[in-house]
Structure 1
Amino acid sequence: MSKLDRRTIKTREAIYQALIELMSEKDFDAITINDISNKANIHRGTVYLHYSDKFDLLEKVIKNHLGNMMKFCMLSKLPEERLDLDRSLLQMFLYFEAHFSFYYTVLTHTGISCFREQLIQLVKNGIVERLKASGNIEESNNQVAVQFLLSAHVGVVEWWIINKMPLTPLHVAEELRDMLDKYDMQKTSVCGS
């Protein structure tokens, strides 16, 4: 990787971190590019080299984190390409733990409903794909099954993060896996086995 690439990566990371820190201090609407550049210790023009405005920055930060989160899930895998449910769920919760400040901030920050909406849509798309691939659900029950699984997955993640991780990543992953086992939902789980 060239020097410029490393510098660009460091600059973007500083900008991302500045935004997250500022969002934990005040409403997103009150944050300015000057605030972001001051917090990141860079010139405001540098921010504009990478992002058109604070909304573009927020959108890219969200897409980056959701994309990284999905690397731990199996949304694109077919049921016959089974991965270990324990490992995939644990890795996902370890990722949330490692990036707790981001997820906590966007889930508890008023005015940032776009994160939750994107998270829900991403998980929903994965569930629909898994249900179609599994072929084990009738078309008429699809909407209820999708909503049920969506609520279960997103609800557990939100509860765990908003409550500042009251269980270890291993414990919450095991509990979620046990619930999926109990109701025989592994075949349609967003992070399925």
Structure 2
Amino acid sequence: MDRRIKKNQTAIMNALIQLMTEKDFEKITINEIAERADVNRGTIYSHYADKYDLMDKCLEAQLQQLIESCSVVVDETESNPSKSSLLRTLELLEENALFYKTLLRNKALLSFRNQLQDMINKQIKAQFLENNLTLDELSKDISVQFLSSAAVGVIEWWFTHSNPCTAKEITEKLWSLLDTNLQMIRSQA
């Protein structure tokens, strides 16, 4: 991709994020985004159909980064690759705290929360419950939903309370809770 195009798209997405910290998404106009990004309206429309398409592309890019960071990397030097994956994900969230805090706070963007939970659902199912042959499918589904809802709830709390601890500290606490519950689920099978 041409560097100029990438630079414009980044400026447009950053402008949208900045504006979302100041007002509701529904009240933001293309003119405001263009002015903040220092591009003309035509540039925005050459990349995005409308502000909703822009938001979707912005979410897709951020979620793709989260998915990549959340993937477990097999490394013999790590004692717990799943926990390391959680830490990498929370560190990425922490690095982009303003964006995620804005998304989680903005009522118009409930889809982000749902997509985040879906991503965590898949990771929990793949990493912890897929190979547990003693659990029936309903038990697996309920367990995954419970654990992912808890994880998303903790992440939301972390952002709404202005990140009162580091990504490493919250990873330790969240991992302890998830691990305890996973052990209970496995013992009930």
Band the TM-score falls in, shorter-chain normalisation: 0.7 to 0.9
Structure 2 residues not aligned, in runs of 5+: none
SS of structure 2 residue aligned to 1:111: helix
State the distance in 2 between where 1:38 and 1:32 align. Answer: 10
| Identity of matched residues, % | 37
Shift of 1:181: 3.2
Question: Relative contact order: is structure 1 or structure 2 higher (C-alpha 8 Å, sep ≥ 6)?
Answer: 1
AA partner of residue 91 (structure 2):
L
CA deviation digits over 1:147-178, x for unaligned, max 9? 21111221111111121111111100111122
Structure 1 residues not aligned, in runs of 5+: 189-193
Let me know the Cα RMSD of the aligned residues.
2.4
Aligned residue number for residue 150 of structure 1 = 148
**Structure 1 residues 94 and 140: alpha-carbon distance in aligned structure 2, compared to 1, 3 A threshold:** closer
Of residues 176, 179, 188, the one that matches 2:177 is 179
Aligned residue number for residue 191 of structure 1 = none
Of residues 45, 51, 54, the one that matches 2:51 is 54
Aligned residue number for residue 94 of structure 2 = 97
Paired residues of 1:34 and 1:44 also in contact (CA < 8 A) = yes
Aligned residue number for residue 32 of structure 1 = 29
TM-score by length of 1: 0.83
Paired residues of 1:75 and 1:129 also in contact (CA < 8 A) = no
State the distance in 2 between where 1:83 and 1:71 align. Answer: 17
Shift of 1:74: 2.7
Equivalent pairs counted in the alignment come to: 180
State the distance in 1 between where 2:113 and 2:179 align. Answer: 26
